[in-house]
């Protein structure tokens, strides 16, 4: 048995290195399979981002500014929010994967959703203070724009064409963003919007033409999944944005309280009563925060009285 183990068993010390080429080949195959799941448009975007990063790092002045921007982007509070966002997104995917709604094939769509939707919503979480924010967030994902983008993304061009189109759209989008910053650029903004509309109409016409001759390619389960998955992820992500806005509102309120409640024990009491009274309700908390702007508490009795009056006034 000992001789068989040394000569023929994969557990023998001398044969262990033979496993490495197999494992390496398997890892390469997995990477290639994952790579093939990305469309030419997604690959073109990734290539241009990589080119932009390499160019920026090659310029000393830009490199210094870029490092400052990166440093600010990864400030510790922001870094914590990114970790929480990615953790929450992963927790969203786990049950979806368990019931078969999410698969590895959806990874490119999920990555684009994180970069284009989740990050934007994270940086705009303060808008959650508006009670219509969540209704509008769902509505925006159901608007014709997402349908338009979905239809256009059904048909992608050859990689060299996509490599040309990506910077064109990027430049036009950047110019429109700049034009929106000042009213003196209104004519330029109007012209750029016309150009974008013409390009969008041309692409939509192309897609509709292709669909008319190849509807079977459109009416597939994969396309349906790529359509509803971003909407589903957005809906599931809304609670995270809500609690991020709730935490930020509490933090801001408690910082302000320190300036007009000097007694430390009374300050702790105000914070405790605020948490116990308004903890889950973001919008009532914001109204309470505005209500106590002109109040100066001297004792716990005044705090309790102010809360009672506020609740009776808002009920």
pTM: 0.64
As given in the structure block, the two tokens for residue 125 are 């979480």
Q: 269 or 159, which is more confident?
A: 269
In which band, very low, low, confident or very high, does the pLDDT at 86 lie, cut at 50, 70 and 90?
very high
At 58 the three-state DSSP class reads helix
* Confidence check: pLDDT of 23 > 70: no
Average pLDDT of the segment spanning 285-309 = 84
The CA distance from 282 to 128, in Å, is: 9
Q: 60 or 80, which is more confident?
A: 80
Structure confidence at residue 160 (pLDDT): 83
In which band, very low, low, confident or very high, does the pLDDT at 232 lie, cut at 50, 70 and 90?
confident
* Confidence check: pLDDT of 145 > 50: no
271 Cα distance to chain centroid: 32
Average pLDDT of the segment spanning 35-39 = 63
- In DSSP notation, 175-233 reads HHHHHTT-GGGHHHHHHHHHHHHHHHHHHHHHHHHHHHH-HHHHS-HHHHHHHHHHHHH
Average pLDDT of the segment spanning 216-237 = 75
* Confidence check: pLDDT of 301 > 70: yes
In which band, very low, low, confident or very high, does the pLDDT at 60 lie, cut at 50, 70 and 90?
confident
Average pLDDT of the segment spanning 66-91 = 84
121 CB neighbour count, 10 Å cutoff: 19
Residues 277, 307 contacting (CB under 8 angstroms): yes
Residues 248, 126 contacting (CB under 8 angstroms): yes
* Confidence check: pLDDT of 87 > 90: yes
């Amino acid at each position: 048995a000992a001789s068989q183990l040394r000569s023929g068993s994969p557990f023998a010390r001398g044969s262990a290195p033979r496993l490495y080429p197999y494992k390496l080949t398997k890892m390469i195959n997995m990477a290639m399979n994952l790579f093939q799941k990305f469309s030419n448009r997604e690959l073109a975007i990734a290539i241009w981002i990589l080119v932009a990063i390499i160019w920026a790092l090659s310029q000393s002045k830009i490199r210094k500014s870029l490092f400052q921007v990166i440093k600010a982007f990864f400030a510790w509070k922001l870094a914590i929010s990114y970790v929480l966002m990615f953790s929450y997104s992963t927790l969203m995917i786990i049950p979806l994967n368990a019931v078969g709604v999410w698969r590895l094939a959806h990874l490119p769509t999920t990555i684009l959703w994180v970069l284009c939707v989740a990050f934007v919503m994270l940086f705009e979480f303060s808008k959650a203070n508006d009670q219509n924010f969540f209704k509008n967030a769902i509505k925006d994902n159901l608007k014709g724009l997402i349908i338009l983008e979905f239809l256009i993304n059904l048909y992608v061009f050859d990689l060299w064409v996509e490599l040309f189109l990506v910077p064109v759209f990027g430049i036009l989008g950047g110019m429109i963003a700049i034009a929106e910053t000042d009213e003196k650029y209104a004519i330029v903004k109007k012209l750029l919007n016309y150009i974008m509309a013409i390009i969008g109409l041309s692409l939509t016409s192309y897609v509709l033409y292709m669909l008319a001759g190849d509807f079977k390619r459109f009416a597939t389960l994969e396309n349906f999944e790529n359509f509803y998955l971003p909407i589903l992820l957005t809906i599931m992500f809304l609670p995270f944005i809500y609690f991020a806005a709730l935490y930020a509102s509490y933090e801001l309120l408690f910082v302000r309280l320190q300036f007009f409640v000097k007694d430390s024990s009374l300050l702790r009491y105000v914070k405790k009563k605020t948490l116990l009274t308004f903890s889950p309700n973001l919008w009532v908390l914001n109204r309470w925060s505005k209500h106590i702007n002109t109040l100066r508490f001297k004792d716990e009795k005044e705090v309790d009285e102010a809360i009672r009056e506020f609740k009776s006034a808002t009920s």
